[in-house]
């Protein structure tokens, strides 16, 4: 990789490229509106939405947040054309450094049980499987 990889905080003009990246990576599901997720994040914690760039091309993202008890990772994405180059690892290192600013004791994330490639990625980053049951309740439907 001869181009310089740079990570910076999301800016409003990144919106279309970010949504397209998430779609390319299969992160957009019919019950979540990615534009609403972006707006919700930047209205409360804009510094936790981090984007990775090669030249003028958005190739990676991660959304990191801290709620006082645990840090959370969402929307870690690396464009499939740029995988296996360490970009996901660099995004996670940056997210972990961001969460460390809050003295965050632990990071949690969710992975679909069938997504072995992602499970392997996070295992290689030092994450361990927690024996928990994940539950959710939607308070605001996105109506997408």
For the whole prediction, is pTM greater than 0.75? yes
d(CA 51, CA 33): 19
Mean pLDDT, residues 101-108: 96
d(CA 118, CA 111): 7
pLDDT digits (tens, 9 = 90+) for 77-96: 999 999 999 999 999 999 99
- Candidate CATH numbers 3.30.70.360, 3.40.640.10, 3.40.630.30, 3.40.50.12280; the one for domain 5-124: 3.40.630.30
Q: What backbone torsions phi and psi does residue 88 show, to the nearest 5 degrees?
A: -60, -40
Give 18's contacts (C-beta < 8 A, 6+ positions apart): 10, 34, 38, 51, 58, 61
Mean pLDDT, residues 58-73: 97
Q: What is the pLDDT of residue 29?
A: 83
Mean pLDDT, residues 106-125: 92
């Amino acid at each position: 990789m001869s181009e310089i990889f740079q990570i910076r905080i999301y800016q409003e003009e990144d919106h279309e490229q970010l949504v397209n990246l998430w779609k390319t990576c299969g992160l957009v599901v019919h019950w979540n509106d990615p534009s609403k997720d972006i707006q919700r994040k930047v209205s409360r914690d804009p510094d936790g939405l981090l984007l990775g760039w090669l030249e003028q091309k958005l190739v990676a993202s991660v959304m990191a947040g801290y709620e006082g008890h645990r840090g959370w990772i969402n929307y870690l994405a690396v464009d499939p054309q740029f995988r296996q180059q360490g970009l996901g690892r660099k995004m996670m290192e940056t997210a972990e450094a961001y969460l460390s600013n809050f003295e965050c004791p632990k990071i949690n994330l969710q992975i679909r049980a069938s997504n072995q490639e992602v499970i392997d990625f996070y295992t290689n980053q030092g994450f361990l499987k927690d024996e928990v049951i994940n539950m959710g309740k939607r308070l605001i439907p996105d109506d997408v």
